[in-house]
Amino acid sequence: MIAVIQRVSESSVTINGEVTGSIGLGLMVLLGIEEADLQEDIDWLSRKIIHLRIFPDENGVMNKSVLEATGDILLISQFTLHASIKKGNRPSYIKAAKPDFAIPMYEQFIKALENELGKPIQTGEFGADMKVALVNDGPVTIMIDSKNRV
């Protein structure tokens, strides 16, 4: 699983001209799922995201998590995070999980984030043509691959 995490002051997702999810202060997370992902990837990555200390404390130092900052999360599925460009200029998405595997994993990831955060999160719609808007605060952008934990 690959996640691109952005600290935002606001973020939203629009599908077919309708805003289907939006947050203020928090994290906008793009999530790429591959066939090799397991429940342990969900558990590890969801905990890592919730406890990642990238929000400022009272001294302006990045020392608080989204939980401590009482922020929200907008989660967007993004199969293109697994793009390979080793050959030519047209990306290959062979490593990205197919929907029959990825959708249940995405739904489990939503539940894991909600359990860790202690409240519902906002999401996009798996496989939909989504327009994502955000104001990256900082900017702070971090990429985490659950297969590269060490």
Active site residues: 78-80
The residues, ordered by sequence, that sit 6+ positions from 115 with a Cβ below 8 Å of its Cβ are 46
Name residue 34's beta-bridge partners.
96
- In three-state secondary structure terms, 37 is coil
Closest to 126 measured CA to CA, from 90, 55, 72, 75? 75
Tell me whether strands 72-77 and 130-145 are parallel, antiparallel or unpaired: unpaired
Residue 87 CB neighbour total at 10 angstroms: 8
* E strand residue ranges, 16-116: 18-23, 26-32, 55-56, 62-64, 72-77
Peptide bond into 139 cis (omega under 30): yes
